[in-house]
C-alpha cells in the first residue's frame, strides 16, 4: 500500500478527513514521510491568531471542567484509553509513516499511551493532600490540590503521540484543559489522536475543546508562551528551543515542564556481564535510529574490557537490519530528514578531527526512494571533547575508557545534559555508588539496563540542561495542579501562630 494511501486510511478510521479539511483554503503544512522522503498531502496549519483563539476555547472548557469531580474526569480518560486500544494499529501506522519507527516501536508508543491512561484513571481517585498538626488548639491544618488552567503541550517529532498523552492524561484528570502544539513533522498522528480524544469527550458528555490541536511554526505558537491564561507550558525539544521558551514563560511567572537534551551514557565496569551490556547498549544506541531523548550516546568502559566490548558491539552493528520500517525484520529505520543526516556526517568528521576513530558505521544505506537510512556508527574517542559533550540527534555512539571508578563518574557527569544514565556491573558497591548523591547526576539512573525504555510509573525527566521537568508517573501530577494550604478554626477563640499577642 502506498504510504499516502496508508495514512489516509488510518486517519479515516480514526475519524479524520484531512484532505477535505483544507479545501476551504488557509494556511497549511505538508505532511511528509522519512520512509521514502516524499511529500504526502497538505494539512491545516494555525497562525498566531488561531492559537490565541484556541487558548480562549480551552480556557472556557477549563472553567466547566474544573468543577467536575476527579473520578468523573477519570472516566473520560478511561474511554480515551479504550479508543486508543481499538485504534492501536491505525495510530502505529501513522507513527511509522511520519517518524519511520519500526513496527514494534510504533506499537510500543501507542501502548505507552494506553498505559498512561490506565495510570491516570487510578490517579483520579488519589489526588491527595495532607493533614498536618496545628500548633493552635481547635485548629486543623491541611493542604488541598486544585486544577490550574490551560496546559500548553509542545511536542517533538520523535514521540509524536506518547509524550502528549503523558501530559494530557494527567492534565485532564487534574481538571485542566490542553492546547497541543504538535510538531510540524507529525501533523497526521496528532490529528488522529486529537480526534479520538474528542470522540471520547463527546461520548462521556465532557465539554468541547478540552484538547485543542494547533499545528504551526514557532512564530504561530508564541501566544502559548506569552498568554497568562496558560499557567503551565510543557515543552519537549532541543536545548536551544528550551533556552528560547523558558525566559518568555518565566517573564510572566508561568510554570515550565521542560524535557530537553539527553547526552546519555553507560558505564561498563570490569565486573559487567557483557552479554547483558551489549544487548542493552545496542538497543539504547541504535533504536529509533538514535532519535530518542534517552538514546545512549556515550559508553564509558573500563580499559580492561574496552577491546572486547567494542569488538562485540561492532559485530552486532554490522548485521543490524537497516531498512523499510514496515518490512518484517527491520530494526533500524530512517533518519527524520536530510538535515539530520548532514548533522550526523558533520559530527563524524569533527570526531575524526578530534582524534577519534570510526570503528564501524556512519554510511548512508540505499533502501527506498529518497529516505535517509544510515548504519549506526561506533566511534572510539581519545577524550571527552567538546563534540562529545554536545548531543547529535543521530545513531552515533562514542566510546571512552577509564581507569578508576571516580574517573568514570566524572566523565559520565561531565556533560551539560542530565537525562538518563546506566551502569553495567555485578559489583553491588559500584551499583550503589552510582545511585548515591555523588554518583550519576541524571534524572533517570539505571543499573544493568540501558538508558532507553522508561516505564510510565516513574517520573520521567532530567537535570541540568535537560530542563528539570517531570512527566508521567510518581508525583509528576503535582506539576499540573495548584496547592492551597488551609487552616480551619473550629474553636471559639482566635489564637495567633507563634504565640503572637495582638490583643
Residue 288 lies in a domain: yes
User: Does 353 lie in the same domain as 400?
Assistant: yes
Beta-strand ranges (E) seen in 113-229 are: 131-132, 139-147, 150-154, 177-182, 211-215
Q: Could you tell me which residues come within 8 angstroms of residue 49 by beta carbon, excluding any fewer than 6 positions away?
A: none
Write out the H or E segment, with its range, that includes residue 358.
Answer: strand 357-360
Pair type for strands 364-365 and 444-447: unpaired
Distances from the Cα of 86 to the Cα of 12, 114, 194, 196, angstroms: 14, 10, 15, 10
Residue 407 lies in a domain: yes
Residue 240 lies in a domain: yes
- Condensed to tens digits (0 to 9), the pLDDT of residues 50-65 reads 999 999 999 999 999 9
Residue 228 — very low, low, confident or very high, per pLDDT cuts 50/70/90?
A: very high
Residue with cell 548533522: 343
Residue 376 has a pLDDT of 98
Residue 21 has a pLDDT of 53
Among residues 80, 109, 111, the alpha carbon closest in space to that of 96 is found at: 109
Distances from the Cα of 211 to the Cα of 54, 108, 216, 423, angstroms: 9, 23, 16, 40
How much is the average pLDDT of 367-376? 92
Residue 154 has a pLDDT of 98
User: Does 150 lie in the same domain as 75?
Assistant: yes
Residue 254 lies in a domain: yes
User: Does 253 lie in the same domain as 153?
Assistant: yes
User: Does 312 lie in the same domain as 372?
Assistant: yes
| 428: CATH | 3.40.309.10
| 146: CATH | 3.40.605.10
How much is the average pLDDT of 64-71? 98
User: Does 295 lie in the same domain as 333?
Assistant: yes
Residue 23 — very low, low, confident or very high, per pLDDT cuts 50/70/90?
A: very low
User: Does 383 lie in the same domain as 281?
Assistant: yes
SS3 per residue for 440-482:
CCCCEEEECCCCCCCCCCCEECCEECCCCCCEECCCHHHHHEE
Residue 216 lies in a domain: yes
User: Does 276 lie in the same domain as 197?
Assistant: no
User: Does 270 lie in the same domain as 255?
Assistant: no
User: Does 282 lie in the same domain as 196?
Assistant: no
- Condensed to tens digits (0 to 9), the pLDDT of residues 302-314 reads 999 999 999 999 9
Maximum Cα interatomic distance, the chain, rounded to a whole number of Å: 86
Which residues are catalytically annotated?
Answer: 259
User: Does 288 lie in the same domain as 256?
Assistant: no
Residue 457 lies in a domain: no
At 359 the three-state DSSP class reads: strand
Percent above pLDDT 70 for the chain: 98
- Condensed to tens digits (0 to 9), the pLDDT of residues 264-284 reads 999 999 999 999 999 999 999
Total domain count, the chain: 2
- Condensed to tens digits (0 to 9), the pLDDT of residues 202-227 reads 999 999 999 999 999 999 999 999 99
For 472-503, b/e burial (b = at least 16 CB within 10 A) is: bbeebbebbbeeeeeeeeeeeeeeeeeeeeee
Please answer whether residues 473 and 459 qualify as being in contact, where contact means their C-beta atoms are separated by less than 8 angstroms. yes
User: Does 84 lie in the same domain as 231?
Assistant: yes
pTM, to two decimals: 0.96
Residue 1 — very low, low, confident or very high, per pLDDT cuts 50/70/90?
A: low
User: Does 425 lie in the same domain as 473?
Assistant: no
Angle of helix 88-99 relative to helix 3-13, nearest 10 degrees, comes to: 140
Q: Cell for 30?
A: 505538508
Please answer whether residues 125 and 71 qualify as being in contact, where contact means their C-beta atoms are separated by less than 8 angstroms. yes
Domain boundaries, position 48: 3-260+467-484
Q: If you average pLDDT over every residue of the chain, what do you get?
A: 96
Residue with cell 538514546: 295
Residue 436 lies in a domain: yes
Residue 52 lies in a domain: yes
Amino acid at each position: 500500500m502506498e504510504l499516502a494511501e496508508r495514512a489516509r486510511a488510518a486517519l479515516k478510521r480514526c475519524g479524520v478527513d484531512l484532505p477535505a479539511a483544507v479545501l476551504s483554503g488557509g494556511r497549511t503544512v505538508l505532511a511528509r514521510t522519512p520512509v521514502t522522503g516524499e511529500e504526502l498531502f497538505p494539512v491545516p496549519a494555525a497562525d498566531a491568531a488561531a492559537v490565541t483563539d484556541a487558548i480562549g476555547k480551552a480556557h472556557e472548557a477549563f472553567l466547566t471542567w474544573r468543577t467536575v469531580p476527579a473520578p468523573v474526569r477519570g472516566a473520560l480518560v478511561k474511554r480515551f484509553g479504550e479508543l486508543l486500544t481499538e485504534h492501536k494499529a491505525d495510530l502505529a501506522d501513522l507513527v511509522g509513516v511520519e517518524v519511520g519507527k519500526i513496527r514494534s516501536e510504533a506499537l510500543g508508543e501507542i501502548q505507552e499511551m494506553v498505559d498512561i491512561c490506565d495510570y491516570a484513571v487510578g490517579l483520579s481517585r488519589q489526588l491527595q493532600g495532607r493533614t498536618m498538626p496545628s500548633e493552635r488548639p481547635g485548629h486543623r491544618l491541611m493542604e488541598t490540590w486544585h486544577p490550574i488552567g490551560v496546559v500548553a503541550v509542545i511536542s517533538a517529532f520523535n514521540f509524536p503521540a506518547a509524550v502528549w498523552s503523558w501530559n494530557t492524561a494527567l492534565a485532564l484528570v487534574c481538571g485542566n484543559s490542553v492546547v497541543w502544539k504538535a510538531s510540524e513533522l507529525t501533523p497526521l498522528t496528532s490529528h488522529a489522536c486529537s480526534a479520538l480524544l474528542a470522540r471520547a469527550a463527546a461520548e462521556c458528555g465532557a465539554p468541547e475543546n478540552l484538547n485543542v490541536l494547533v499545528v504551526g511554526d514557532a512564530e504561530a505558537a508564541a501566544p502559548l508562551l506569552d498568554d497568562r491564561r496558560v499557567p503551565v507550558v510543557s515543552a519537549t525539544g532541543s536545548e536551544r528551543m528550551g533556552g528560547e521558551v523558558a525566559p518568555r514563560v518565566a517573564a510572566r511567572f508561568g510554570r515550565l515542564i521542560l524535557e530537553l537534551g539527553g547526552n546519555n551514557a553507560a558505564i561498563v565496569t570490569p565486573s559487567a556481564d557483557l552479554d547483558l551490556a551489549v544487548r542493552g547498549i545496542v538497543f539504547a544506541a541504535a533504536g529509533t535510529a538514535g532519535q530518542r531523548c534517552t538514546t545512549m550516546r556515550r559508553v564509558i568502559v573500563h580499559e580492561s574490557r574496552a577491546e572486547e566490548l567494542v569488538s562485540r558491539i561492532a559485530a552486532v552493528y554490522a548485521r543490524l537490519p537497516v531498512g523499510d520500517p514496515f518490512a518484517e525484520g527491520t530494526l533500524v529505520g530512517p533518519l527524520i530528514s536530510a538535515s539530520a543526516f548532514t548533522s550526523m556526517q558533520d559530527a563524524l568528521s569533527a570526531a575524526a578531527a578530534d582524534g577519534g576513530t570510526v570503528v564501524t558505521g556512519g554510511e548512508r544505506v540505499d533502501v527506498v526512494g529518497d529516505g535517509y537510512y544510515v548504519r549506526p556508527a561506533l566511534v572510539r574517542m581519545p577524550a571527552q571533547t567538546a563534540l562529545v559533550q554536545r548531543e547529535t540527534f543521530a545513531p552515533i555512539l562514542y566510546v571512552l575508557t577509564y581507569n578508576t571508578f571516580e574517573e568514570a563518574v566524572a566523565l559520565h557527569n561531565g556533560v551539560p545534559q542530565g537525562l538518563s544514565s546506566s551502569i553495567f556491573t555485578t559489583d553491588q558497591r559500584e551499583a550503589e555508588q552510582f545511585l548515591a548523591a555523588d554518583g550519576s547526576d541524571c534524572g533517570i539512573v539505571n543499573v544493568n539496563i540501558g538508558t532507553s525504555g522508561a516505564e510510565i510509573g516513574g517520573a520521567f525527566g532530567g537535570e541540568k540542561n535537560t530542563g528539570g521537568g517531570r512527566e508521567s508517573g510518581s508525583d509528576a501530577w503535582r506539576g499540573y495542579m495548584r496547592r492551597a494550604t488551609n487552616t480551619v478554626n473550629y474553636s471559639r477563640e482566635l489564637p495567633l501562630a507563634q504565640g503572637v499577642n495582638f490583643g
